[in-house]
Amino acid sequence: MKNQPHLIAIDLDGTLLKDNKTISPYSKEILQKAKEQGHHVCIATGRPFRSSDVYYHELDLNTPIVNFNGAFVHHPKDDSWGSYHTTLEVEVVREIVEVAEKHDVHNILAEVLDEVYFHYHDEKLLDIFSMGNPEVTIGNLKNVLRKDVTSILIHAPEENVEKIRGYLSDVHANVVDHRRWAAPWHVIEIIRAGIHKAVGLKIIADYYNIPKERIIAFGDEDNDLEMLDYAGCGVAMGNGIDQVKSIANEVTGTNEEDGVARFLQSYLSL
């Protein structure tokens, strides 16, 4: 079975990327070997495409990519492959903004693929979100948003995060899913209900006709849970959260120890 083509799905931050956001030469070499042996390597990230395409090209991939935790799936090198974009209705977004404003939030961002909308001007966040040169609009989201959105981010004081999440669960549970970013950011990320990385991974697996038992997925955070659970071989990073380790089939080294490459080298005899 090891010789048959596998689908290898890799999260970026905290997984393939080292803490300084680079990919080690060893990781690149092993992923190249995997591709040469006929395996399909794909990226599955919470990032938008504009801030993951640099890694896509660095790895010289020719596969579809999962962005926004599954809300957007497309093939960067093949327009005819189609794209899957699952959005939140702008009316729901306006209601969420209204409630968020009452919770003394630092900021609210809406992303529509490569357009970023900031509720308030915010130098610190502008800097983080300017990777890949998005089209940036600053202004009251209730007025400036004219279309359905890919995702919303609420940056709130730590003590208000759970209150806002409670509201989302009580009022919008059937329309949205929300997660909390890892420290030090007190950020709530909201996407359409039922959307997660496994949804995107299934689209890609079906395209390549790869059964579950030949899917290997790597991750470290709560946005990787469904993907690791879905894969025949879900691998948690050594630096991953306990919840990820508990549902994974295997635990590898940390992102600083090239955990992805070490696991693949041994598992696929590369």
What is the predicted pLDDT for the residue at 76? 97
In the numeric block, the tokens 């209150």 are attached to 163
Convert the pLDDT of each residue in 223-254 to its tens digit.
Answer: 999 999 999 999 999 999 999 999 999 999 99
Convert the pLDDT of each residue in 116-151 to its tens digit.
Answer: 999 998 877 777 777 778 899 999 999 999 999 999
Q: pTM score, two decimals?
A: 0.93
What is the predicted pLDDT for the residue at 158? 87
| pLDDT over threshold 70, residue 214 | yes
| pLDDT over threshold 90, residue 171 | no
Convert the pLDDT of each residue in 9-43 to its tens digit.
Answer: 999 999 999 999 999 999 999 999 999 999 999 99
Report which listed range, 79-88, 101-110, 183-192, is most confident: 79-88
Distance CA 108, CA 16 (A): 29
Contact indicator for 116, 135 with CB cutoff of 8 Å? yes
Distance CA 25, CA 31 (A): 10
For the structural domain made of 7-85+195-267, what CATH number should be given? 3.40.50.1000
Distance CA 265, CA 259 (A): 10
User: How many C-beta atoms surround the C-beta of residue 22 within 10 A?
Assistant: 12
> Is pLDDT larger for residue 269 or for residue 127?
269
Check if CATH label 3.40.50.300 holds for domain 90-192: no
Those residues whose C-beta lies under 8 Å from the C-beta of residue 208, and which sit 6 or more positions away, are: 5, 7, 40
Q: Which of 11, 177, 220, 258 is catalytic?
A: 11
What is the predicted pLDDT for the residue at 127? 76
What is the predicted pLDDT for the residue at 124? 75
Average pLDDT, the chain: 93
What is the predicted pLDDT for the residue at 191? 92
Catalytic-residue membership of 11? yes
What is the predicted pLDDT for the residue at 1? 67
| pLDDT over threshold 90, residue 2 | no
Q: Domain extents for the chain? A: 7-85+195-267, 90-192
Q: Is the dihedral of CA 194, 71, 96, 107 positive or negative?
A: positive
Convert the pLDDT of each residue in 61-102 to its tens digit.
Answer: 999 999 999 999 999 999 999 999 999 999 999 999 998 888
Give 95: exposed, middle or buried? Use CB within 10 Å, 0-12, 13-18, 19+: middle
| pLDDT over threshold 80, residue 185 | no
Contact indicator for 249, 257 with CB cutoff of 8 Å? no
What is the predicted pLDDT for the residue at 179? 86
Please give the single-letter amino acid code of residue 223: N
Give 240: exposed, middle or buried? Use CB within 10 Å, 0-12, 13-18, 19+: buried
| pLDDT over threshold 70, residue 157 | yes
- Mean pLDDT (whole number) for 215-225: 96
